[in-house]
Every structure is written in C-alpha cells, then in structure tokens.
A and B are shown apart, each in its own frame.
Chain A
C-alpha cells in the first residue's frame, strides 16, 4: 500500500514562493505526480517525476528524491488564481494506479 503525507494548509502572499512537501512510503514506485484541484472541480495535471531531480514547467517546479521518499512542488510568482488544493499522488509499480495524498490547500492573499 501507499502512505502519503503532505501539509493540510499553507498561506502566502501574491508574488511570493511556496513549497509544498510530500513524503511517501510505498510498496512499489513508478512515478510521483502533482495535481491542482480547485474547489468543486476535477484535478488537473501539473507535473510528473520518476527520476531523482528537479522538473521545471514555467512557474511550477517539482523535485523528487526516491531514496528519501520525498518530493516537493514549488510555486513561484504566486497569483490569486493559484489558490487551490494541491494533490501529491504516487503510482504503484505493479498496478499502475494512483494513490493520492490528502491535499494541501494553498491560499494566496493580496
């Protein structure tokens, strides 16, 4: 099974940087995903890491350390529209399905 932990809530001001950490313990690993979910909507894909290191996509970056069971999502130049829940998800190696963390609610203030 999977055990995925991430902080419940974070608050930051517009233009700032926020880092959302995710730790996981898995019986198998085949990739870590970050999704953004606005209230009442379905999640949208942000990033994917399968090898150690940093993946950068515009204002969003994601980092993975497989040996430490650790990832983070970095949001730069925060905008009000970035207020949402951010979900860390791990893909199981044997069955190719995603297990999600509880999500981190990010609130961006002016």
Chain B
C-alpha cells in the first residue's frame, strides 16, 4: 500500500520556539494532504487541508498564522508550529489520499508527538 512518512516522530522544544514537521508521500503523488491534531484519549481533529501549489484551507478555530502549512511539491507538505506554547503539545498526524481515494483509503503518517516545555 501507499506510504506516508512523517518526521520527526518526537520533538521537545522550549516555549516560544518554532517547530517544523514534514509529511512525505513516498511512493505516490499527493496534491492534497490533511493535517490532524490529537490530544490524549481524544479523536483526531482536522486542522487544515494542504493543497499543492496553493494556500491551505484551515478549519474553523485553527489559527493560520500559528500553524503555517506549505505544500511545496507533490510529495511534501510541512506544518510549522510558530511560537509554540505548552497548550500546543499534542500528537500531530498527516494523511494523504492515494489513487484509491474514491474507494476508500486515506494513508496516515506515523505521527509527530510535540512536547512544549
């Protein structure tokens, strides 16, 4: 099946710093990728839809200036958490639809666990 790789898996940073998370589709092209956030024992909440070559579409309540998304190529989307604070500590997961999107599968990256001290 299609592979989506996310990096880094774990990151610890100081409050006020910025953190970049990369999401790559390894064996297919993804014009669209989705970024989710998951707090402990809660479900995945969609943050934004990343679109190759154009601006990301953010969900209501998500600050676009805080969570910068760049979809520079057909295989790479990045999420930058700017001026991170402890409340931004969460599990961030990206996903991408493969060619089989109309029949089902959305492939997820391994996730990135962010801890802001």
Task: Give the B-binding residues of A (Cβ under 8 A).
Answer: 31, 33, 40-45, 47-48, 87, 95-103
Contacts and interface: CB of A to CB of B under 8 A. Distances in A.
B110 A42 contact: yes
Interface in B33-49: 34, 36, 42-46, 49
Interface stretch (B12-20, B64-72, B81-89, B97-105): B97-105
B46 A33 contact: no
Interface residues of B, number: 25
Interface of B: 6, 32, 34, 36, 42-46, 49, 91, 93, 95, 97, 101, 103-111, 113
The binding surface of chain A is classed by DSSP as: loop
Contacts, number: 49
B44 A48 contact: no
A48 B111 contact: no
A96 B33 CA distance: 11
A9 B95 CA distance: 26
B79 to A, nearest CB: 15
Contacts of B113: 40
B43 A87 contact: yes
Given A97-B34, A97-B49, A45 B104 contact: yes
A99 B45 CA distance: 7
Nearest to A105: B41
Nearest to A91: B106
| Residue in B36, B105, B106, B109 with the greatest tally of chain A CB atoms within 10 Å | B106
Contacts of A45: 104-107
B49 to A, nearest CB: 6
